[in-house]
Amino acid sequence: MKLFFKSVLQQAAAQILAGVLLMGFVFLGFAIIIGKFAVTEIDIQKKSVLVLNLNANITDTPAQYGPQDLMLEAMQGGGNQSLHLYKILENINAAAEDSKIRSLFLHGNLIAIEGGSGYAALREIRDAIKKFKNTGKPVYAYTLTPNLRTYYLVSCADHLMMNPFGDITLNGLSSEVTFYHGAMEKFGIGVQPIRVGKYKSAIEPFTRKKFSEEGREQIQELLDDRWTSIINEISENRMLEPHVLNKILENSFHFKPAQALKAGLIDKISTRQQLVEQLVKIGVEDKESGSFRQIGLVEYGESQSIDKQMRSKKDKIAVVYVEGTIVEGESFPGYTGSSTIQRVLSKLKKREDVKAVILRVNSPGGSATASEIMQQAIRAFQESGRPLVVSMGALAASGGYWISAPAQQIFAQPETITGSIGVFGLLLNMEGLGEKVGLTWDRVSSGQQINPFTISRPKSDEELEFVQKMVDDIYDTFISNVANHRNLEKQEVHEIAQGRVWSGSKALDIGLVDSLGGLGQAIETAGDLAGLDIYEIEHHPKEMTGIELLAEVLGKDLVKARTRSLAETQLSQIQHQIINLRAWNDPRNAYVRLPFRLP
């Protein structure tokens, strides 16, 4: 009996302790959520250094923090920071005119998750840094082992310093695609491809074991264009001729600090202590920390937001983000849904204070049906007589170009991947797999027995002809829309289409885009087209506020905030692949998308 009561008391104590810990986690999560979004007055001291921590993934779309993300961040000691491109540009531009900001300091190593930190976005940040430098304020950068993206960005600093234990590797670009055809053959899975356009290589991973000549050709051209752009930008900032830098890289692409200094890739070798001493000299020493007086870009942005709330303007320009694969239905992380965009544009059309829309496109395309639904929503907004301008990010290809074509003006960066005007479909045949594992199919039909989307058998010639005609019709719609909106002859579009991808600079030459430039130039143009001198920028989707997050937490079950085991991590990766299958939801199984992402 004594042991029984002891056991009961132990279990009761454990349950009480677990309850206390859970409540602690809940309050901690609420504190993190509220603290992250709470508006507090921030005092910017004179002679401060604005610090941009590059240990982040730079995204086009405003960060959409979820309660689970913040709870896990609280319990696991932080996570990968996500920075919104527009906020970076806005804050650097504001700091350039702020008498309290003495200089700009860059440090860290960029992260690129699912296409984040793309070169098109980095070029825009470089342009903002150049404007900052033009005010006479110096830009400092400190690096240890920068990846290519990071070095591309920090190379524009006036003073680029490297830790004596660091190194730089500039070994070019490469694109690697996984081909599934061999594995599918082994499992008895057949694929009958349908496509229009000899360059529409999105289908090749399922039908080939290596690149076709056309597929290899277009990827090689994109890589060469991008590498040339990177070399030219680095050369300009490092006071080197492009042919000199190319010569240096031909001899060696890996540099230790002394070698990097000799080659002109950095300005100085410094320990962190020496770096701090130098920044104290150009600014002011912070007595509490013993470091230089500084303010982080995120905190500086919060101070700017407070100022904006006091001088909010009536007229608005809305920036609508299409980022990730285009799918039917609602948006979810990494995917933009046609229903979501249709609803957003419909609401904006009804608002009298919204004078123009910027469509910021960073998408490889996706569902042909979803792309057309989005384009219909875009044309409906334009019926109001207000301008709609497209700003292309790293990717605006295939379905991403489908939705861009109607815009009054299209802006792209030289590194933007666009075009890919073509259509494909995949018809799977699981008959061989069924024979291997003992699966059988039986069917009952009514009417004409054409079923081109069955997976139980190879498709007949009649069925293939039916699907090919459907894909041909979609392609004809695609090139007709482009011809109409871009004032080109249909045959001209066909010649530059056929699924071929183009860099932004080549797209300008062939008439697919109007100007080279970033989000800032697109906003200025939209303002001019709308006849606005003063206006406020509004972003869709909006970043969630602390109250909104709190409501979401209260409306959902809390997840267990703890470190995942190896098995759970593997299961999470499988789950991610399963979620990717949601992108293949076109009702006619017809897609306008890219098969690859460039580095």
Catalytic residue (choose from 117, 338, 398, 404): 398
Asked if 523 contacts 358 with a C-beta cutoff of 8 angstroms, the reply is yes
Pairwise CA distance, residues 239 & 237, whole Å: 5
Residue type, 238: R
Q: Give the closest residue to 505 by CA, choosing from 226, 232, 199, 227.
A: 226
Asked if 59 contacts 84 with a C-beta cutoff of 8 angstroms, the reply is yes
Question: DSSP state, 406?
Answer: T
Indicate if 398 belongs to the active site.
yes
Pairwise CA distance, residues 155 & 279, whole Å: 18
DSSP string, 269-327: E--HHHHHHHHHHHS-B-TTTSSB-EEEHHHHHHHHHHHHHHT--S-EEEEEEEESEEE
What six digits make up the tokens of 60?
């086009």
> Any idea how long the chain is?
599
Helix axis angle, 297-310 relative to 85-96, nearest 10°? 80
* Dihedral angle sign, alpha carbons of residues 132, 136, 142, 148: positive
Indicate if 268 belongs to the active site.
no
What six digits make up the tokens of 578?
């399963």
Q: Give the closest residue to 426 by CA, choosing from 580, 586, 579, 582.
A: 586
Pairwise CA distance, residues 298 & 53, whole Å: 9
Give the Cβ contact number of residue 444 at 10 Å.
Answer: 4
Q: How far is CA 498 from CA 11, 369, 494, in A?
A: 69, 19, 6
Catalytic residue (choose from 200, 355, 459, 506): 200
Asked if 257 contacts 166 with a C-beta cutoff of 8 angstroms, the reply is yes
CA angle 238, 240, 246 (to 5 degrees): 110
Asked if 199 contacts 500 with a C-beta cutoff of 8 angstroms, the reply is yes
Catalytic residues: 200, 398
